């Protein structure tokens, strides 16, 4: 009876809940009383690991994901040597069984704590031993759990892990490689129970701990030959990083107040609060030494353009992105493609996967092209000494991406921007609307013009706007004039490549899909002054409105690749802007208008309402060069339809627009 009940809960019982804690309790709550008996036949290796771990006299032991506390019975009499044992778990039902076990066994040095192990902390306490027994696979953000265990561990302390896993396709030379069936089928089946079998457990533990014991095994069962491992490691010397502050909240306004003069400009003093300096390419590698370039954000047209330009000038190009099929994947310019985890769902895993590519492909230069730049900057220390990351630090990128912080920093540098106010509640929104000004409303963090409202005239225009302290908006004075956009490559505050362009056809309040080159000295002077004061390194696009009187107002900034990159397609000097900080400013050699032909046909053509508009459309289509099609590289154009099934599926599943679905897995909205 107990066996059939266990099989039912493992294979058939539904798992419900809107949070990890609720789903965990849904799974374990109904089987807590039979958990120990039902798991004994296939949760192997626990006795071996607990027997091998040191038990120091008067020490402290933390069991993460301790469940019913059954693992402590493997310690036997050694348990009484410890001053304190903490059993940490998120399931109340499992901990109830643990409390009953503690009472029955008479353990006076054992304490039960209900908490999420990825955020659990004991202020002022350092442990001698931390263990995970078949719990890492139950933790969605298991990276954070391992990192937190390292923070809780005293120098020289031990971490023990026993758990299921699957190997990477190409594991380390002395590690077991599992078959394709094992690597594919087992994780898919395990997801039904929210068990996350990962090929990254073992590499991550070896990378961040000094391994004392590691062995790989399989459960000897006809029905469930699951692979598992036993790992015991010690904490290496040196800091892991600060313990998380549970009281800290993340600000999405970066910051909500204007930055102080002390924090900006090249004259900012050194010290613990000074902006971290970003190394330029010239400090570590010359153009002659840069051979392999890794581009991320392969779904974007900008990434494809960069791949073609780098390849045409003798560089080996590697591309990576998270969709299974992305736009640039079939390009002949790319030597190898990689599919990664979604950066905004698993940022640490994403960075770890990138690091593995950097090491495997011997990458010299990593160039982010889309909003994954924020997640790469978040973990840029992983790449120190391994390759140059062509991006600034997260603080600077966040200040540029935030529409509120950007205008404040520009105003601080004496540059023209529209009058802008922060809207973080409904009262502030109503006050702005009753000010008698024409406004543009948009979220502090947004992209491609999504949710932008221009010139709201009534309640119906703003009824869906719900600004909060965590999701604020900005109200910006409407500036009457023509749009101008710039794209620049910058190293240490100095522009090394620059283009300016005027959109001719755009999606509603969004990105342009037809644009013409413009030589605009005023735009370049504005950008040059701004990046010099910011000491910026990376790619940057700034959107302006130019009034009839010639005044130039910057309205927002995109610290990534933008459409201006397409004008460099015939410019062999362009790669030098990324690899040589001392090069002369590179300008496009070819200034023919550019377009995305598919959007011109499917979007622009249907909006034509007059013969004059049709003639203008025909003229633009005739003189413009398609940014997707290449005579020597036609496959991205031919196979572009393959990107849409995944996008359409995501749009339907999440209830978002197609435009939002394209970037939903890489969007960054101020999170740290």
pLDDT of residue 157: 92
Are 219 and 340 within one domain? Answer: no
Asked which of 478, 500, 522 is the last residue of a domain, the reply is 478
Which ranges in 535-594 belong to alpha helices (H)?
A: 576-579
**Residues 464 and 503 reside in one and the same domain:** no
User: Is the same domain home to 46 and 77?
Assistant: yes
How far apart CA 326 and CA 160 sit, in angstroms, is 39
Q: Which domain holds residue 668?
A: 282-391+639-672
Residue 211 to residues 214, 215, 391, 414, 506, Cα–Cα distance (Å)? 7, 11, 34, 55, 55
- Same domain for 188 and 46? yes
Pair (654, 581) in one structural domain: no
Q: What is the CA radius of gyration of the chain?
A: 28
Q: How many structural domains comprise the chain?
A: 4
The CATH number of the domain holding residue 572 is: 3.30.470.20
What tokens appear for 21 in the block?
């804690």
What is the per-residue pLDDT for 29? 64
Is 577 in the same domain as 535? yes
Six-digit token pair at 64?
Answer: 């993460």
* 65 plus 158 within the same structural domain: yes
CATH number of the domain residue 429 falls in:
3.30.1490
At 257, give phi and psi (nearest 5°).
Answer: -105, 160
Task: For residues 219 and 74, state if they share a domain.
Answer: yes
| Dihedral sign from CA coordinates of 425, 427, 430, 435 | negative
What pLDDT shows up at residue 192? 59
Query: Looking at residue 84, which CATH number applies to its domain?
Result: 3.40.50.150
Q: Which residues of the chain have pLDDT under 70?
A: 1-18, 20, 24, 27-30, 32-41, 191-194, 220-224, 237-289, 449-450, 456-461, 509, 672
**What local confidence, expressed as pLDDT, does residue 38 receive?**
64
| Residues contacting 252, CB < 8 A, separation 6+ | 402, 444, 445, 469, 470, 471, 472, 669, 670
Two structure tokens written together for 52: 């091998």
What pLDDT score does 261 carry? 40
pTM over 0.85, yes/no: no
Give the single-character DSSP code of 245: -
271 domain residue, yes or no: no
Domain stop point among 207, 234, 261 = 234
State whether 71 and 208 are in the same domain: yes
> Is residue 498 located within the same domain as residue 512?
yes
Phi, psi dihedrals of residue 382, rounded to the nearest 5° = -65, -30
Q: Indicate whether 309 and 365 sit together in one domain.
A: yes
The answer to the question of residue 22 being in a domain is no
Instruction: In whole angstroms, give the CA distance from residue 419 to residue 431.
Output: 15
169 and 45 in a single domain? The answer is yes
- Helix, strand and coil content of the chain, in percent to the nearest 5, comes to 35, 20, 45
């Amino acid at each position: 009876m107990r066996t059939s009940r266990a099989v039912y809960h493992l294979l058939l019982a539904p798992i419900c809940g809107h949070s990890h804690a609720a789903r965990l309790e849904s799974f374990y709550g109904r089987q807590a009383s039979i958990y120990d008996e039902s798991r004994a036949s296939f949760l192997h290796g626990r006795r071996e690991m607990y027997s091998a771990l040191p038990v120091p006299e008067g020490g402290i032991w933390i069991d993460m994901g301790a469940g019913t506390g059954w693992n402590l019975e493997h310690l036997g009499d050694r348990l009484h040597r410890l001053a304190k044992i903490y059993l940490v778990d998120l399931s109340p039902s499992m901990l109830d069984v643990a409390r009953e076990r503690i009472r029955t066994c008479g353990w006076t040095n054992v304490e039960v704590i209900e908490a999420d192990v990825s955020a659990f902390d004991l202020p002022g306490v350092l442990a001698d031993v931390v263990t995970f027994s078949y719990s890492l696979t139950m933790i969605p953000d298991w990276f954070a759990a391992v990192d937190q265990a390292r923070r809780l561990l005293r120098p020289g302390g031990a971490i023990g892990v026993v758990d299921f896993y699957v190997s990477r396709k190409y594991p380390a030379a002395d590690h077991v490689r599992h078959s394709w069936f094992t690597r594919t089928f087992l994780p898919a089946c395990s997801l039904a129970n929210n068990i996350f079998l990962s090929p990254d457990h073992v590499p991550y533990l070896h990378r961040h701990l000094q391994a004392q014991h590691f062995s790989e095994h399989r459960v000897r069962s006809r029905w469930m030959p699951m692979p598992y491992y036993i790992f015991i490691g010690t904490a290496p010397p040196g800091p892991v990083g600060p313990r998380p502050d549970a009281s800290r909240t993340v600000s999405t306004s970066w910051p909500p107040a204007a930055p102080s003069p002390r924090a900006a400009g090249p004259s900012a003093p050194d010290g613990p609060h000074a902006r971290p300096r970003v190394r330029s390419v010239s400090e570590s590698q010359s153009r002659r030494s840069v051979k392999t370039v890794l581009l991320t954000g392969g779904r974007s047209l900008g990434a494809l353009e960069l791949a073609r330009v780098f390849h045409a000038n003798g560089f080996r190009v590697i591309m990576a992105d998270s969709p299974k099929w992305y736009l640039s994947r079939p390009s002949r310019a790319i030597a190898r493609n990689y599919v990664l985890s979604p950066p905004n769902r698993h940022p640490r895993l994403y960075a770890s996967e990138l690091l593995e590519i950097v090491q495997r492909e011997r990458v010299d230069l990593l160039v982010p092209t889309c909003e994954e730049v924020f997640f790469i900057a978040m973990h840029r220390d992983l790449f120190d000494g391994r390759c140059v990351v062509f991006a600034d630090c997260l603080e600077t990128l966040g200040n540029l991406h935030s529409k509120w912080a950007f205008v404040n920093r520009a105003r601080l540098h004496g540059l023209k921007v529209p009058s802008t106010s922060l809207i973080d509640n409904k009262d502030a929104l109503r006050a702005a609307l009753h000010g008698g000004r024409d406004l543009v409303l948009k979220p502090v963090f947004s992209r491609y013009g999504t949710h932008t409202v221009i010139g709201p005239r009534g309640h119906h225009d703003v009824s869906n706007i719900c600004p909060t302290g965590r999701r604020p908006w900005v109200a910006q004075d409407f500036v009457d004039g023509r749009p101008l956009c710039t794209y620049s490559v910058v190293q240490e505050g100095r522009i090394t490549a620059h283009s300016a362009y005027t959109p001719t056809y755009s999606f509603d309040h969004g990105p342009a899909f037809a644009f013409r080159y413009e030589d605009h000295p005023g735009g370049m002077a504005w950008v040059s002054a701004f990046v010099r004061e910011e000491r910026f390194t990376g790619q940057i696009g700034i959107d302006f409105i130019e009034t009839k009187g010639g005044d130039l107002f910057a309205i927002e900034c995109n610290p990534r690749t933008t459409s201006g990159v397409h004008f460099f397609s015939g410019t062999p000097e362009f790669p030098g802007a990324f690899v040589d900080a001392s090069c002369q400013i590179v300008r496009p050699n070819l200034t023919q208008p550019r377009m995305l032909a598919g959007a011109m046909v499917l979007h622009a053509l249907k909006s034509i309402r007059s013969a004059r508009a049709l003639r203008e459309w025909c003229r633009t289509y005739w003189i413009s060069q398609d940014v997707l099609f290449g005579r020597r590289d036609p496959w991205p154009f031919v196979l572009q339809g393959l990107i849409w099934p995944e996008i359409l599926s995501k749009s339907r599943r999440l209830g978002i627009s197609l435009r939002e679905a394209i970037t939903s897995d890489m969007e960054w909205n101020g999170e740290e």
